[in-house]
Amino acid sequence: MIPVIISGTVVTALRRANRVVVVTGAGISAESGIPTFRGAEGLWRNFKAEDLATPAAFARNPRLVWEWYDWRRNLCGKAQPNPAHHVVAAMERFYHHFLLVTQNVDGLHSRAGSRRMVEVHGSLWRARCLKCGDTVELPMTSFEDGKAVVGRVSSRVARCLEEENPARSPGLQPLPTHAACGGTLRPAVLWFGESYEPAMLQQVFTALEEAQVVLIIGTSGGVALPVDLAAQARQAGATIVEINRERTAVSRLAHERLEGRAGEILPELWRRVQVGHLTDEIRARGRHKGGRLMIGIAGPPGAGKSTLAQALKAVLGREAVVVPMDGFHFPNARLDALGLRARKGAPETFDRLAFELAVAELRATQKPVSLPLYSRELHEPVADALTVPLATSFVIVEGNYLFLWPEVRNALDLKIYLDCDPALARASVIARHQQGGASEEEAVRKFETNDRLNSETVHATRGAAEIMIRRNAAGWTVERVGGT
Ligand code: APR
């Protein structure tokens, strides 16, 4: 994977914005395996648009056109949204004013969770009745007798299209008809020579007038719309950012261009925006508190707590130190001095006692604090303890059920919960066990045992969070910044 180069300007623009418009084209679905239209492997290189995507083509040979759309529906139905689609859906949840304008008809944005969306070219998954004008949803399959059978037609489509002899398309099922009125159905897709819906365009142009940032992703500008949208938005003062593998008709209007694959650029761009947003919040709380800010990151095993902690430290720099939860180990002498030896046999784990002590010490003192770290693998204290120097403004601690213990919860100034998509957490934990040498079967058993032990405490912890971060296929998104 080529390292993604993203300018700070784009990250800053997205961190400061609260009104964002995203315009997408076929390129955002390329990494889901769906061919684009132009370029080396483009659909219009292998098929003739005028035979397949015009009103005249449908009038001339409606069956062929339906077979073409069946073939594409079959292809798109098997494809999965890629990380770029998930980031666009995460942006919709994050920005108060957001609109997705997509030229794509493949349905992947809605399958990734996008809702505030305008499909300016319609959708493969809808059909329109030529008689009454109603639009009907199409199932994830293709047609036979007006009902749906999955794309058996695709081989016929390929053959008759290759022979480019529509008249030869074999005897096919009757055309799909509208159950309500018996009218003939056509794909609810905008064809060449047809006009955009005025109301839809009005919604798009209104959103562009107010947008602070417009991302234009994976479109060649082969049809004029994205170029017109970029020109209008730029005129209205928005920052135009193009994400594409090559220069296009849009490029001259872009303030910034991020060159590469959308599926790689968007997750990295979004991670940097979210970590930046979080560190803004942390610094603001640090100023408000005027001393050492104790930050806790909790979440289920495999959620990515340590990765998030390290990402925050990378931005906060030398002012921050990360203290791993299960790294603590206090010798008995220290416990005796604090009158806690008796609790050592208590049901809670030894980590818990050590953790309480460490957080309490780090919180209470503004002097350097040494923490004897404990290696779980070696089952003994690690020689060089972690020393938290006086100048440390931000102490980041992380653990599965960190906020469960009152002594720790009350000592933390900021509680962040990493709410992870369960499938992602499970995959991370199993992979980690396997990296440690466990077989897949052992790794799964370890995960399931640990997960059972953790589940109720993790959810109890979740309730104490002030900042909720959702981790899914888009990476991290700050879902809620609560409390003062
Ligand atoms: N990441 C980002 N961009 C990509 C990627 C990728 N992984 N792969 C390809 N691209 C870019 C190409 O460089 C190209 O600029 O996506 C763009 C795809 O351009 P087109 O194939 O022309 O598709 P699009 O711009 O969406 O076409 C617009 O034309 O034929 C009509 O109705 C059709 O909606 C379509 C419209």
Task: Compute how many other C-beta atoms are within 10 angstroms of the C-beta atom of residue 475.
Answer: 23
- Is 121 tagged catalytic? yes
Structure tokens at 417: 């919960």
Closest-lying ligand 1 atom to the alpha carbon of residue 219: 25
Cα of 26 from ligand 1 centre, angstroms: 4
As given in the structure block, the two tokens for residue 25 are 């084209």
Q: Which amino acid is at 164?
A: E
Give burial (CB, 10 Å; 0-12/13-18/19+) of 24: buried
Q: Quick: pLDDT tens for 45-94.
A: 888 888 899 999 999 999 989 989 988 998 999 999 999 999 999 999 99
Q: Which amino acid is at 252?
A: R
Closest atom, ligand 1, to C-alpha of 38:
21
**Catalytic hit among 85, 109, 121, 433:** 121
Residue from 245, 252, 257, 266 to probe ligand 1 pocket by mutation (most atoms less than 8 Å from CB):
245
- Tens-of-pLDDT digits for all 484 residues of the chain? 556 678 789 999 999 999 999 999 999 999 999 999 987 788 888 888 888 999 999 999 999 899 899 889 989 999 999 999 999 999 999 999 999 999 999 999 999 999 999 999 999 999 999 999 999 998 755 444 334 333 333 444 444 444 444 444 444 457 889 989 999 999 999 999 999 999 999 999 999 999 999 999 999 999 999 999 999 999 999 999 999 999 999 999 999 999 999 999 999 999 999 999 999 999 999 998 888 899 999 988 889 999 999 999 999 999 999 987 665 666 677 667 766 666 655 544 556 677 777 887 888 777 788 887 766 666 666 666 788 888 889 999 988 777 877 878 888 999 999 998 889 989 988 998 899 888 999 999 988 887 766 676 677 778 888 999 999 888 888 886 654 3
Cβ of 121 less than 6 Å from ligand 1: yes
Summarised one tens digit per residue, pLDDT across range 413-456 is 999 999 988 899 899 889 988 998 889 999 999 888 877 666 76
Longest dimension (CA), the chain: 93
Q: What is the pTM of this model?
A: 0.85
Is the shortest distance between the CB of 431 and ligand 1 below 6 Å?
A: no
Q: Which atom of ligand 1 is nearest to the CA of 104?
A: 34
- Going from the Cα of 218 to the center of ligand 1, the distance in angstroms, rounded, reads 5
Task: Give me ligand 1 centre to Cα 21, in Å.
Answer: 18
Q: How many CA atoms lie within 13 A of 2 on its CB side?
A: 11
Taken in order of first residue, the domains within the chain and their CATH numbers are 8-264 (3.40.50.1220), 291-481 (3.40.50.300)
* CA atoms of 387 and 390, how far apart (whole Å): 9
Question: What residues contact residue 481 under an 8 Å CB cut-off, 6+ apart?
Answer: 281, 466, 467
Sign of CA dihedral 29, 30, 34, 39: positive
DSSP 414-432: EEEEEEE-HHHHHHHHHHH
Please name the residue whose Cα sits nearest to atom 25 of ligand 1. Answer: 219
For residue 60, report the distance from its CA to the centre of ligand 1, in Å: 28
CA dist list (Å): 265 to 34, 65, 199: 18, 35, 32
